[in-house]
Structure 1
Amino acid sequence: MSLAAPIDRRLSVAPMMDWTDRHCRAFHRVLTRRTLLYTEMAVDKAILNGDTPRLIGFDAAEHPVAIQLGGSEPGDLARAARIAEDYGYAEINLNVGCPSDRVQSGRFGACLMQEPELVADCVAAMQDAVGVPVTVKCRIGVDDQEPEEALFTLVDTVAARGIASFAVHARKAWLKGLSPKENRSIPPLDYDLVRRLKAERPALEIILNGGLEDLEHAIAETATLDGAMIGRAAYHTPWILARADSAVFGESDPVATRAEALAAFRPYIAAHLRSGGRLHDITRHMLGLFAGEPGARQWRRILSEKATRSGAGLDVLDEAEAAIPSREEAA
């Protein structure tokens, strides 16, 4: 049974493959102290048999940070969860929502919506292995499943094993006929179903995910829920996170302008470069910082063209920032 103190999940950034790596999370943490951050999905067998430090290592400055695991073998997931806890993650989340072919072939991700008893066995094994909270991120159904039946069955089956927190991507996943990219936008959203789940299961923590465009949208849609998980909007327009601490958590925001954010993040970038890392490893996550602002196109162009070059350094970041008009005011 989990022993750790509860985690504040009123706002989180969703786990996103190829996007929410350690550099992305470090950047987001400059913008918000309180928002819960998630790793990319890490496959249990890769953690057990691969380069574990490279796969799941992270900086303590990223806290609060949770890891998302992929898998369907309770024993492997339990061992991977124990390793993740030893690394210092505050939460272990099981992926029951990714629709990619690679995930399906491994019998995990969204296809597990069809096997609620197996999901329950997996999370029970994980929960027995660690002291930090274990949670689930799922869809409302897959393929021809009736969403209300599929979602409630999965949640009830898993909750019966002691899991109390669920992040629900409010779309079906079509395992055949749609690509993973299409599955993020084509199946219609059903926020009302997620709200009904919370109303009928008030003791559970229900977090809404899917299609949330900004903080205002997230706050409005989750007035009767326990929190919001923002995905692509937080990645493509990260400045929305700079108001999260005040708008969601009632605390002061860490930076007032994008220039302040860049100055605060600069030591992290410099340390990465000194260790032999590439500038592009980090700046690829920063392309949307000035989205909607004068100079945004030049910012993206300079970073896209020059940060990828061998030996690219902080001068490239300086050049990109210089392309932004100096009249930016505190947001």
Structure 2
Amino acid sequence: MRKFLSVILLMATPVYGGVDHGVDVTLEFYQRFDDAAQTLAQSSCQGDDIIANYHRAYDAWNGASIVSFGPLEQQGGALALAFWPDKKGFTTKALSRLITDQDKAIENGEDFATVSIAAHGFLALEMMLFDPDFIQFSEGSYSCKLVDRITQDIAGKAATMNAAWKSEFAKIVRDAGDATNPVYLTQQEAAQAYLTSLSGALEFIETSRIARPLGTIQRPRPKRAEAWRSARALPNIQATLIALDEMIRALGDDATPETNEAMAALLRFLPTINDPAFASVSELGVRFQIETVQTMVHNVNEAMRVELGTYLGVNLGFNALDGD
């Protein structure tokens, strides 16, 4: 594989057209998230509908979140919608404080914006809908109104980002390098933003979504998995990888064969894992499967950084999660 990638590196020339295709896919992702989030916000605070709509919106969020620059950055980054890792239990504390105090900040979006970020987004909603310490509430109660406010806040952010991409930011990316462009002085800067964002999403899967629950073989940490209460540790990874596969193919114009092959193998392997919450990471068989996914994700990232970076004429010489 390394020999093949080296040949690609020598032969390829920078191409910007793929970024235009990437913008098209980005617009689709943010429209899907907006649509799903609006449906979620219209759900009753209890029952099967809100659970189903929570999962649909979370899937759509995972797709949109792979494009972490621009409007998402302006919202405060991914933490504004998915406060995780939460190493000190801030979400539990923030929600408990609101409920205990019957805080009126949930009565409107402007006041809710001043509440701890840990009480916003999908992980806060998950706790309200799936955690035994929070789910015992009735229609019309403070907790029900809190669920409504969280879903409305998600929908508001989704709508804002979707509108920003459609009204302004798509054109900014497409017109990178124009003398009047307010963000990207060169086309390579916009291409670099995409490559950094995608690599960061893959690295986040490898070093957080997988590594945190794996812990060590002597001390696995299943409750450090993302969204384990709603059994979304694996579905979040899968939804993200499906979106990454679509985006890489759009940006690369089929010039990323090694990456595409590695991703296809990874997506075929994921359904063999019968533990969506990563609850059984202490079992050697399950642990081996999850470690295999971790290695495969790393390999996809390595191939993508070379193939896609070469095709777009940019490279990454730093940890994508640093945001430098």
Does the pair score TM above 0.5? Answer: no
Query: In proportion to residue count, which structure has more helix?
Result: 2
Query: In proportion to residue count, which structure has more strand?
Result: 1
TM-score w.r.t. structure 2 length? 0.31
